[in-house]
Amino acid sequence: MTMMVFTFVLLLGNALKEILPLLVSGQVSFGTVAEAVGLLVPFVWVYALPMGMLTATLLIFGRFSADQELTAVRASGISLLTVVSPILLLSVALCVASALVNLELGPRCRVAYTTLLYKLRTQFTTAQLPEGQFIRDFKDAICYVGKNRAGELQDVTIVMLKNETNFERTIRAPRAKLEFTVTNLTLYLTNAKVINLSENIDAGTFEVLPLEFDLEPAKQGPQKPRIDDMTFTQLRGELEELERIRLLPPPRGLTPDQLRARKQEWERTRHDLFSQILFQMHRQVSFSFACFGFTLVGIPLGIRVHRRETNVGIAMALLLVAIYYSFVLLGQALDTRADFAPCLVLWLPNFLFQAVGSVLLWRANRGAG
């Protein structure tokens, strides 16, 4: 239940910012929104899974202690470790699930979601071809659409340019149909009349004239995932590719100082990329152990607090989550500073939570004995 709550909250934050405005304006259907949310779910599970496990542990063992059930367990001669063993095994299983999500499923779904978002934004800006306006978003062409009814166009005028400045020919069509892909837009003009302006010649009328326009590179969406959106396998491939890359032979005429500066700049750039990729790999793996560390800390803290109130458990969970992810943010800020060991910073909260949790659980178990 707590995992579902955190998933809903994290989804709501992303959907309100990016998807819901398109839905409210009527530009996307509920089916598209459902697809986008479905792609976001594995991505937010990266954070919702350990947060949900920590909150559930604090709430359950806080109530367990407050209702004197722990006293009954002690009176029965059952050790606390025996009671919590299934919970610890569950946290280990969740670590395996987290690894699957963090290393493969989450990044792939994030890339698919980003691609869908780019497609939607492009489709309902450039590709929608707003009526009653001159559209100059295509290379070597100016378009004017009288009416646009869900891709069925009327009174279409297209002026083709040469060298982006000179009018080459004009095309007029009473009707046209619009088809759209991620990388291009195609207009099927019906009864299109073509006039070559450079020669002032009527080139004739075409029953159906297809015209294809390439979208600008910035509007095509990401062709390659960013480093922080790559899967573990893709990151490893990038690392191997980076190790194979060698500096190209320098042009002739460079002085020894220029050659040395060029080599140093290349090594610095390569080192920064290597550090970022390695950092991302460590981040994905270290996140996978968060459930176990949160569980080890959550069990003894829940017993010590022994409160029934849900808000107390949630407040403690949020505080612990803030401490954990503060290390992650610190490591991310140092991802290109290998001298500060950013990869080690990522692992510190796991070591800290597991060490503190083990000590607290051992002390709680001694008290139970």
Q: Check the CA dihedral 133-138-139-144 and report its sign.
A: negative
Query: What percentage of the chain has pLDDT greater than the value 90?
Result: 4
Q: What is the pLDDT of residues 157-184, one digit of tens each?
A: 888 887 766 777 888 899 988 876 656 7
- CB-based contacts of 304: which residues, under 8 Å, 6+ apart? 65, 360, 364
Is 325's pLDDT higher than 80? yes
Burial class (CB in 10 A: 0-12, 13-18, 19+), 277: buried
Number of C-beta neighbours around residue 173 at 10 A: 24
Is 9's pLDDT higher than 50? yes
Q: What is the pLDDT of residue 351?
A: 92
By DSSP bridging, strand 134-138 and strand 141-149 are antiparallel
Q: What is the DSSP letter of 209?
A: E
Is 67's pLDDT higher than 60? yes
| Tokens 């290349």 sit on residue | 266
Q: What is the pLDDT of residue 220?
A: 45
Q: What is the pLDDT of residue 93?
A: 92
Higher pLDDT, 245 or 109: 109
Q: What is the DSSP letter of 172?
A: E
Q: What is the pLDDT of residue 227?
A: 77
Q: What is the pLDDT of residues 269-312, one digit of tens each?
A: 777 778 888 888 888 898 889 889 999 988 888 887 765 556 67
Is 254's pLDDT higher than 60? yes
82-96, 183-197, 265-279: which has the minimum mean pLDDT?
265-279
